[in-house]
Amino acid sequence: MSYKRLIEAKTRQAFELVKDLAQDVVFTRKTNSDFNFGTGLEESDSKSVKTKVIVSDNKKKSSERNTIRKTLMAKTAEVGDMKLYESISFNGLVWKIGEVSKNDGYVSVVDVYREG
Amino acid sequence: MGKYVGLQTSAFSVFDSTAWKAESIKTYPANFVPVNPGDEFVRVSIIPSGRGINSKSSSGVFQIDIFTSAGLGPTRAMQLADKLDLYLQEKSKTVSEGTLQFLLSSLSLTGVDKANSALYRAKYTIPFNFFGVL
């Protein structure tokens, strides 16, 4: 087994070992988009990817507004380039994708935001 | 229709025209994230920061960020700015919401894009007056 496959297998195993700390989520991204200047609206297609994430941080971002930020870890092999995603759904709520702080090819760490 | 949506409708009609579309310059508004914009595109921001002559009118600046490939010199950015001039500078556009009048443009070459060093960025600005229909 190559080192790359070995690390990916161990990453999958790690997400299984943490049991319910890894939550089921759905990432949504645009696969094609254009802007119609006639209507002033976006025209796009989207694609969803189901995976598991681990919430590593959770805090209120702003003292002026109830902006909530979560930091999530996901398996890069399943989600690919996190910057392509727009939103993530879990626990019945939709969060917007923010900054991707880490992507080592195996684990991606991303901030997601929501107005609470 | 309100003042600001009327202004936007007038402004967007420029980029919705058959002639502009035929230029094949990828054009996006501010606060829009395209999936694959490539290495040459423009992004239009309308800044209605000034007063108008009545409650349906305003004035301000169009700021158009021009993105081209980095490392190839400023020529392409200049060419795209000239293209924008053809459609905007000293032109006026009348739609049902009012008349949008453009003044004289300027261009600032801001250098390599901070977010993507593969792109070179120039800032094209042109003041406007919008006379909305009361």
Please judge whether A84 and B15 are an interchain contact, meaning their C-beta atoms are less than 8 angstroms apart: no
Burial readout B52-87 (b: 16 or more C-beta within 10 A, e: otherwise):
beeebbbbbbbbbbbbbebeeeeebbeebbebbbee
So what's the pLDDT on residue A61?
66
Nearest to A35 among B9, B14, B28 (CB): B28
- According to the model, what pLDDT value does residue A30 have? 81
Residue B1 has pLDDT above 90, yes or no: no
Query: Looking at residues A23-28, what average pLDDT do you find?
Result: 93
The winner for highest mean pLDDT among A16-30, A56-70, B16-30 is B16-30
> What is the least distance, in Å, from the CA of A61 to any CA of chain B?
21
The confidence score (pLDDT) of residue A48 equals: 92
Whether residue A74 has pLDDT greater than 90: yes
Instruction: Report phi then psi at A7, rounded to 5.
Output: -65, -40
Comparing alpha-carbon positions, the chain A residue that sits nearest to B15 is A37
Residue in chain B closest to A43 (alpha carbons) equals B34
pLDDT exceeds 90 at position B54: yes
Q: Is B80 helix (H, G, I), strand (E, B) or coil?
A: helix
Which of chain A's residues have a Cβ under 8 Å away from the Cβ of B34?
33-35
CA distance A20 to A116: 24
Mean pLDDT of chain A: 89
Positive or negative, the Cα torsion across A14, A16, A17, A22? positive
CB–CB contact A35 B29 (8 Å): yes
Stated pTM of the model: 0.83
Q: What is the mean pLDDT of residues B21-45?
A: 93
Least confident segment among A61-75, B67-81, B110-124: A61-75
- How far is the C-alpha of B66 from the C-alpha of B117, rounded, in Å? 14
Asked whether the beta carbons of residue A44 and residue B35 sit closer than 8 angstroms, the reply is yes
Residues from B in contact with A at Cβ < 8 Å: 8-9, 12-16, 27-29, 32-35
User: Which pLDDT value is given to residue B84?
Assistant: 98
Q: What is the pLDDT of residue A62?
A: 67
Q: Given pLDDT bands bounded at 50, 70 and 90, which one contains residue A1?
A: confident
Selected residue with higher pLDDT from B133 and A62: B133
